[in-house]
Amino acid sequence: MAFVNELISEEDKQKIDWSKFKAWPSSKPHRPWKWTIDRERDVFLIGLVGRGREDDHPEVYALSWKGDVIRFEAESGGKGMFTTGVDMFWKIFNIYIPSHLERQRQEIIETLKEAIDAHGATYKREQVKSVYIDII
Protein backbone atom coordinates (compact mmCIF):
# COMPACT_ATOMS: atom_id res chain seq x y z
CA MET A 1 0.00 0.00 0.00
CA ALA A 2 1.19 3.52 -0.67
CA PHE A 3 0.97 6.66 1.44
CA VAL A 4 -2.38 8.46 1.42
CA ASN A 5 -3.53 11.74 2.94
CA GLU A 6 -6.59 11.42 5.14
CA LEU A 7 -8.40 12.68 8.19
CA ILE A 8 -7.49 10.79 11.34
CA SER A 9 -10.46 8.84 12.65
CA GLU A 10 -11.42 9.03 16.31
CA GLU A 11 -10.66 5.32 16.55
CA ASP A 12 -7.11 5.86 15.23
CA LYS A 13 -6.58 8.86 17.52
CA GLN A 14 -7.30 6.66 20.55
CA LYS A 15 -4.65 4.08 19.52
CA ILE A 16 -1.71 6.50 19.49
CA ASP A 17 0.31 7.89 22.38
CA TRP A 18 0.32 11.53 21.27
CA SER A 19 2.49 12.56 24.25
CA LYS A 20 5.54 11.57 22.15
CA PHE A 21 4.68 14.06 19.39
CA LYS A 22 6.24 17.39 20.40
CA ALA A 23 7.79 20.02 18.16
CA TRP A 24 10.23 21.07 20.89
CA PRO A 25 10.98 19.48 24.29
CA SER A 26 9.03 22.22 26.07
CA SER A 27 6.06 22.04 23.66
CA LYS A 28 2.73 20.53 24.50
CA PRO A 29 2.00 17.28 22.63
CA HIS A 30 0.42 17.78 19.23
CA ARG A 31 -2.93 16.18 18.39
CA PRO A 32 -3.30 16.32 14.60
CA TRP A 33 -6.48 15.93 12.60
CA LYS A 34 -4.84 14.84 9.32
CA TRP A 35 -1.93 12.65 8.36
CA THR A 36 -0.07 11.05 5.48
CA ILE A 37 -0.15 7.33 6.26
CA ASP A 38 0.97 3.98 4.92
CA ARG A 39 -1.01 1.53 7.03
CA GLU A 40 0.68 -1.54 5.58
CA ARG A 41 4.11 -0.37 6.77
CA ASP A 42 2.76 1.21 10.00
CA VAL A 43 4.28 4.60 9.13
CA PHE A 44 2.73 8.05 9.14
CA LEU A 45 3.79 11.67 8.73
CA ILE A 46 2.31 14.62 10.59
CA GLY A 47 3.19 18.27 10.85
CA LEU A 48 3.95 19.41 14.41
CA VAL A 49 4.41 23.13 13.86
CA GLY A 50 4.51 25.32 10.78
CA ARG A 51 6.25 28.57 10.07
CA GLY A 52 4.39 31.74 10.89
CA ARG A 53 4.89 34.94 8.95
CA GLU A 54 7.30 36.34 11.49
CA ASP A 55 8.49 33.02 12.87
CA ASP A 56 12.19 32.33 12.62
CA HIS A 57 11.75 28.66 13.56
CA PRO A 58 11.65 25.97 10.88
CA GLU A 59 8.65 23.77 10.24
CA VAL A 60 8.74 20.65 12.42
CA TYR A 61 7.37 17.26 11.43
CA ALA A 62 7.27 13.77 12.84
CA LEU A 63 7.46 10.47 11.07
CA SER A 64 5.99 7.69 13.18
CA TRP A 65 8.03 4.63 12.29
CA LYS A 66 6.36 1.49 13.62
CA GLY A 67 5.70 3.19 16.95
CA ASP A 68 8.93 5.21 17.21
CA VAL A 69 8.90 8.96 16.55
CA ILE A 70 11.43 10.48 14.17
CA ARG A 71 11.36 14.26 14.46
CA PHE A 72 12.80 16.48 11.75
CA GLU A 73 12.88 20.10 10.69
CA ALA A 74 12.13 21.42 7.24
CA GLU A 75 11.74 24.40 5.00
CA SER A 76 9.24 23.94 2.22
CA GLY A 77 7.81 26.07 -0.49
CA GLY A 78 6.19 25.87 -3.85
CA LYS A 79 6.31 27.54 -7.22
CA GLY A 80 3.37 27.66 -9.53
CA MET A 81 -0.38 27.84 -9.06
CA PHE A 82 -2.74 25.24 -7.66
CA THR A 83 -4.91 25.57 -10.76
CA THR A 84 -2.05 24.56 -13.10
CA GLY A 85 0.16 22.61 -10.69
CA VAL A 86 2.82 23.40 -8.13
CA ASP A 87 6.45 22.33 -7.90
CA MET A 88 7.29 21.71 -4.23
CA PHE A 89 10.79 22.20 -2.82
CA TRP A 90 11.79 20.72 0.55
CA LYS A 91 14.96 21.11 2.60
CA ILE A 92 15.05 18.51 5.37
CA PHE A 93 17.50 18.85 8.25
CA ASN A 94 18.05 17.86 11.88
CA ILE A 95 16.59 14.40 11.48
CA TYR A 96 16.46 12.83 14.95
CA ILE A 97 16.46 9.06 14.56
CA PRO A 98 16.47 7.07 17.83
CA SER A 99 19.78 5.26 18.32
CA HIS A 100 18.18 1.80 18.24
CA LEU A 101 16.98 2.57 14.68
CA GLU A 102 20.29 3.91 13.40
CA ARG A 103 20.98 0.73 11.41
CA GLN A 104 17.76 1.40 9.47
CA ARG A 105 18.69 5.03 8.70
CA GLN A 106 18.75 4.65 4.90
CA GLU A 107 15.40 2.83 4.81
CA ILE A 108 13.89 5.47 7.09
CA ILE A 109 15.20 8.33 4.91
CA GLU A 110 13.81 6.73 1.74
CA THR A 111 10.45 6.18 3.43
CA LEU A 112 10.50 9.77 4.70
CA LYS A 113 11.00 10.97 1.10
CA GLU A 114 8.04 8.86 -0.05
CA ALA A 115 5.86 10.32 2.71
CA ILE A 116 6.85 13.91 1.86
CA ASP A 117 6.14 13.32 -1.82
CA ALA A 118 2.71 11.92 -0.98
CA HIS A 119 2.07 14.77 1.48
CA GLY A 120 2.26 17.23 -1.40
CA ALA A 121 1.18 20.73 -0.42
CA THR A 122 -0.49 20.56 2.99
CA TYR A 123 -1.99 17.12 2.45
CA LYS A 124 -2.99 17.83 -1.16
CA ARG A 125 -0.91 15.80 -3.62
CA GLU A 126 -3.24 16.12 -6.61
CA GLN A 127 -2.28 19.79 -7.11
CA VAL A 128 1.47 19.08 -7.14
CA LYS A 129 3.38 18.44 -10.38
CA SER A 130 6.69 17.52 -8.78
CA VAL A 131 8.44 17.33 -5.43
CA TYR A 132 12.14 18.04 -4.92
CA ILE A 133 13.68 16.94 -1.62
CA ASP A 134 17.11 17.94 -0.36
CA ILE A 135 18.33 16.17 2.78
CA ILE A 136 20.90 18.39 4.50
pLDDT tens digits, 62-98: 999 999 999 999 999 889 887 888 999 999 999 999 9
pTM: 0.90
CA angle centred on 71, ends 87 and 118, rounded to 5°: 30
For 53, 77, 121, the CA distances from 81, given in Å and listed in that order, are 20, 12, 11
CB 49 within 8 A of CB 23: yes
User: What would the mean pLDDT of 98-114 be, rounded to a whole number?
Assistant: 97
| Distance separating alpha carbons of residues 75 and 92, to the nearest angstrom | 7
| Distance separating alpha carbons of residues 115 and 37, to the nearest angstrom | 8
Percentage of the chain modeled with pLDDT above 90? 73
User: What would the mean pLDDT of 35-60 be, rounded to a whole number?
Assistant: 86
Domains of the chain, by residue range, sit at 4-135
